[in-house]
Structure 1
Amino acid sequence: MSKNVENYKNVEEAEIWISKTLRAGVVLSAVITGFGLVLFLLTGNSGYPGESFPTSLVGIMEGLLAFKPYAIILSGLLVLILTPVLRVGVSIITFLKEKDHLYAMITATVFVILIISFFMGK
């Protein structure tokens, strides 16, 4: 098999793997969010008094452990937000496997910028 055909197969396999990763993240997010929504509709209670809700990752995780419907919904949304970030991470690994160091560096830079933006966001 020629080297071009082998590289094409590797790229195709990587794209399929990335596609499956994105699909799994969206499905997982939908399941978590849906579960939180059903729990909210069944109980009629968000798990938080009045207009309050968790605004930090720690608050969401505490609510998730306490099985609060609103925290479960927020966890599903967090999974949805993190899915494309995971895709960027998978792309870095893919480019390194293909020995495409330029694109690996560019993608790693994008990944670092994404992570920094999460920590700088409020």
Structure 2
Amino acid sequence: MREKEEILKIERSIGYILRIGVIVSAVIILIGMFLVFFQTNSSQTPQNLSQIIQGLFQLKGDAFILLGLFCLILTPILRVVVSIFAFAKEKDYLYVAITVIVLLILLIGMGLGLVEK
């Protein structure tokens, strides 16, 4: 019975992570849309992380929208990381290995996406 309670607790935590990630992303994107709507000058859209950070300090709407999208992309990746710890806690090492492989594939895909620019 104790194991079922722990599994339910972990599943709830994963659900909270996904909900919070989506809500935070949506709020950031809405702030960006609000800023874009009221900005008169149209500058170039940020192309890399340093430009996004500079844009955030300059309150550029495009930078906020891109940050929100970045957070939205990171949300399921965070879910995979939490799942690794959850499976390890359950001592289900086959699923730990499979989930680590999934995480590596996601990270390689992101890395290749950055290089292909």
Task: Give 1:8's aligned amino acid.
Answer: K
How far off is 1:53 after superposition?
1.4
* Structure 1 unaligned residues grouped into runs of 5+: none
How far off is 1:100 after superposition?
1.1
- Contact 1:32/1:72 (8 A) holds in 2: yes
- Contact 2:28/2:68 (8 A) holds in 1: yes
Change in 2 beyond 3 A, CA 1:86/1:45: farther
What CA RMSD, in Å, does the superposition of the two structures yield over aligned residues? 1.3
TM-score by length of 1: 0.86
How far off is 1:18 after superposition?
0.1
TM-score by length of 2: 0.89
Moved more, 76-85 or 56-65: 56-65
Moved over 6 A (4+): none
Alpha-carbon distance in structure 2 between the residues aligned to 1:82 and 1:74: 12
- The aligned length equals 114
Identity %: 45
Moved more, 70-79 or 59-68: 59-68
In our comparison, the structure showing a higher alpha carbon Rg is 1
**Equivalences for residues 1-122 of structure 1 within 5 A:** 5-46=1-42, 48=43, 52-121=44-113, 122=117
Alpha-carbon distance in structure 1 between the residues aligned to 2:18 and 2:73: 11
* Structure 2 unaligned residues grouped into runs of 5+: none
How far off is 1:12 after superposition?
0.8
